[in-house]
Amino acid sequence: MAENIAQYDLHLHTHWSYDAMALVEDYFKLAREKKLRAFSITDHHTMDAYGDVAECIRKYPDVPFIPGAELTVHSPAGTFDMVCLGMPMEETPELAEVFETYRQWQRDYGASISNNLVRLGFDFDHQERLDVLKSYRPKHIIEKQGNTHVRAGTLLQAVIDRGFVKDAEGWKQLRAKFVDTPHYPEYDYVLPRVRRAGGLIFIAHPYGYFRRFDTARIDELRELLGFDGIECGHPDVPREAADFYREYCVKHRLLSTGGSDCHQISTTEPGHFAFACHSGKPEWLDEILERLSK
């Protein structure tokens, strides 16, 4: 719906994310078509798309772009998705180490899925998982990132098709028996390196993380994670919560951002959102651009 189109989109995933299907150029085309003031590709755990991005920047020089990534971190208070904006196009040595840590985590997490299923008596070894990955991930991405974990919906369908479980509830019960599942990289390893590289850190889709309107919880996470801002505008954040979080940002001199969390350009799948559809306000982008300019 046209009235839901924002002036920017600072949370987007391409097929370089393990769970997404969109092409990098699709977003550049849409950003030009919809005359966005800015957009950012924030793939899960990686900036591997940035070879494609560099080509598109040359091809679409009129389309304003902010480099970014979505990095999930483990902490004493839980696991959190952090949208990092204003990242360097050329990785610093520290960031290169961070992204290699995430590549290894993705391979280790994928291996833990296969190991647990085999341990529980199911035929789903590493080759089986790789075959599932090949059903939706391009060959050159698998060659770059390895035999990683599989996106949730595809993995669920794979275990149902193989007769391991009957439905999502059965899969949830089976997953409860898994052991030795690796944690995401630690917050105090990842986030300082992002800051030193000049990135701004936002806690993503915070409605669940913040336990809705729990100010004490927001204070706790702000102190622990030291984020620069909050993704107040996101399809999973109700409008009244977005207003509440924005007020919190203003009070504590934090930035606010907005993004659609789009994973596919054309989709009817549950949990996938439309490009540039979020409730972020134009002035939020102004504040981010001003901070990045400094």
Q: Using CB atoms within 10 A of its CB, is residue 198 exposed (0-12), middle (13-18) or buried (19+)?
A: exposed
**Are 201 and 266 members of one domain?**
yes
pLDDT of residue 75: 98
Strands 68-75 and 200-203: unpaired
Q: What is the CATH number of the domain that holds 9?
A: 3.20.20.140
- Using CA atoms, how far apart are residues 37 and 7, in angstroms rounded to an integer? 6
**Are 214 and 243 members of one domain?**
yes
**Are 264 and 170 members of one domain?**
no
In terms of Cα–Cα distance, which of 216, 195, 232, 242 is closest to 73?
195
Q: Distance of CA 120 to CAs 97, 115, 164, 179, 254, Å? A: 34, 9, 10, 11, 47
pLDDT of residue 272: 58
- Using CA atoms, how far apart are residues 19 and 15, in angstroms rounded to an integer? 7
Instruction: Say if 289 falls within a structural domain.
Output: yes
Domain boundary among 175, 195, 224: 175
**Are 83 and 129 members of one domain?**
no
**Are 215 and 192 members of one domain?**
yes
pLDDT of residue 66: 98
- Using CA atoms, how far apart are residues 128 and 235, in angstroms rounded to an integer? 34
Instruction: Say if 245 falls within a structural domain.
Output: yes
pLDDT of residue 289: 97
Tokens matching residue 293: 């300019």
| Tens-digit pLDDT string for the chain (294 aa) | 334 789 999 999 999 999 999 999 999 999 999 999 999 999 999 999 999 999 999 999 999 999 999 999 999 999 999 999 999 999 999 999 999 999 999 999 999 999 999 999 999 999 999 999 999 999 999 999 999 999 999 999 999 999 999 999 999 999 999 999 999 999 999 999 999 999 999 999 999 999 999 999 999 999 999 999 999 999 999 999 999 999 999 999 999 999 999 999 875 455 557 899 999 999 999 999 999 998
- 134 φ, ψ to 5°? -65, -20
Instruction: Say if 39 falls within a structural domain.
Output: yes
**Are 26 and 52 members of one domain?**
yes
Instruction: Say if 113 falls within a structural domain.
Output: yes
Domain boundary among 153, 175, 197: 175
- Using CA atoms, how far apart are residues 206 and 290, in angstroms rounded to an integer? 24
Q: How many domains does the chain have?
A: 2
Please count the other Cβ atoms lying within 10 Å of the Cβ belonging to residue 93. 9
Rg, C-alpha atoms of the chain: 19
Strands 200-203 and 229-233: parallel
**Are 284 and 191 members of one domain?**
yes
**Are 90 and 122 members of one domain?**
no
**Are 197 and 72 members of one domain?**
yes
Instruction: Say if 102 falls within a structural domain.
Output: no
Q: Which domain holds residue 149?
A: 107-175
Instruction: Say if 219 falls within a structural domain.
Output: yes
**Are 215 and 133 members of one domain?**
no
**Are 50 and 26 members of one domain?**
yes
Instruction: Say if 31 falls within a structural domain.
Output: yes
Buried/exposed code over 104-131 (b: 16+ C-beta within 10 A; e: otherwise): ebbbebbbbbbbbbeeeebebeeebbbe
Domain boundary among 175, 201, 227: 175
| pTM (predicted TM-score) | 0.94
Amino acid at 75: S
Tokens matching residue 283: 């002035």
**Are 20 and 72 members of one domain?**
yes
